[in-house]
Amino acid sequence: MATTSDIRNGLCIRYNHDIFKIIEFLHVKPGKGPAFVRTKLKSVTTGKVIDNTFSAGHKLDDVRVETHKFQYLYNEGETFHFMNTEDYSQIELQKNTLDNPGLMKEGEVVTVLINSEDGMPLSVDMPASVILEVTATEPGVKGNTATNATKPATVETGATVNVPLFINEGDKIKIETEKGTYKERVKE
């Protein structure tokens, strides 16, 4: 059993007959009344995100998890295939359990959280950022860079990301995986 003081990003808990992963939290100590923890929970089975507030000292039923490195192989529709980098066993995960599947490139190494009790994969944690090549975007117009204007660009995985106007086809860009946003252009 865990308490609200153990809450951290990535903690998996059993709540409302489902397993949820904490993706965001905030400890609040108001001037009047008891302290509480405001959380965003993501269901590892459905991918649905809910907001919940726990009072301070509330007992949580935490789920014991193991982390393993897996390499992303390929996808077939909504099913994504991964291979364990240690023993080469393969698993399949549904698209809704992945945080940002559009940014995963074949061969990418990710961390998979696995429930210790039954061996079921719970969620996939991607690296903080990925470097992808821009395959399609409109050319930037010279002199149109005074504002923070952006344009849509398609990257090699097929995902669309808003990028600054100076980014062209063939450029490699760093993308923050948590939000799916442009971070910087990568020089080779």
Q: What is the pLDDT of residues 139-153, one digit of tens each?
A: 766 665 566 778 888
* Residues of the chain predicted below pLDDT 70: 140-147
Beta-carbon contacts of 147 under 8 Å, excluding residues fewer than 6 positions away, are: none
Are 135 and 119 members of one domain?
Answer: no
Are 13 and 49 members of one domain?
Answer: yes
Q: 154 to each of 39, 99, 159, how far by Cα in Å?
A: 33, 19, 6
Question: Any idea what the CATH number is for the domain that residue 77 is in?
Answer: 2.40.50.140
Expressed as residue numbers, the domain containing 150 is: 129-186
Are 51 and 82 members of one domain?
Answer: no
Q: Of 125, 142, 157, which residue sits at a domain end?
A: 125
Q: Domains in the chain: how many in total?
A: 3
Q: What is the pLDDT of residue 142?
A: 64
Give dist(CA 8, CA 132) in Å, integer: 30
Are 79 and 119 members of one domain?
Answer: yes
Question: Any idea what the CATH number is for the domain that residue 8 is in?
Answer: 2.30.30.30
Contact between 111 and 121 under an 8 Å Cβ cutoff? The reply is: no
Are 49 and 85 members of one domain?
Answer: no
Are 70 and 55 members of one domain?
Answer: no
Q: What is the pLDDT of residue 139?
A: 79
Claim: this prediction has a pTM higher than 0.85: no
Are 100 and 134 members of one domain?
Answer: no
Q: Of 125, 143, 174, which residue sits at a domain end?
A: 125
pLDDT digits (tens, 9 = 90+) for 61-78: 888 888 889 999 988 888
Q: What is the pLDDT of residue 53?
A: 92
